[in-house]
Amino acid sequence: MKEDIYYLREANKEAIKAKESGNTPFGAILVGADGEILMRQGNIEITEQDCTGHAETTLVRKASKKYTKAFLWGCTLYSTFEPCAMCCGAIYWGNVGRLVYGTTEKKLLELTGADEQNPTFDLPCRDVFAKGQKDIKVEGPFPEFEAESVEPHIGFWN
């Protein structure tokens, strides 16, 4: 969908900002049912004491404090890469009804390799959601967006 690419590009702006801040280059945005961008989030500092600073988890944590679960069900979370199991859990428990991601976790593994900052799961988000009781809609990957989502990662890992 043409508008999905637009929003993925907006999420990628957050990934670039995260990288410029010295954090891992991932980004997410929350879009309301009317198409308005409600929140933006890049990865935040991930430390030994707090490993939950992923863009999607942080965004859902903030959104859950501001919006009702009923409202969030009508929203879409856009993520530059396929969310990990932790982020899928946040999306599920936060009650976001639709997820759109740009590039697969498998492609991310190619980029990160064995870098200890991002030990990836080979666990597709669709598999995580399929084990739950909610019908969260998932769109992605978007091959036409892959080069853009990969760009902030070039030279970052290892």
Active site residues: 56
Residue 79: phi, psi to the nearest 5? Answer: -130, 140
Q: What is the DSSP letter of 152?
A: G
Q: Find out whether 93 and 71 touch, Cβ atoms under 8 Å.
A: no
Name every residue whose Cβ is closer than 8 Å to that of residue 29 and which is 6 or more positions away in sequence: 7, 10, 11, 14, 37, 38, 39, 40, 41, 59, 77, 78
User: What is the CB-side half-sphere exposure of residue 9 using CA atoms within 13 A?
Assistant: 8
Beta-carbon neighbour count of residue 152 at 10 Å? Answer: 23
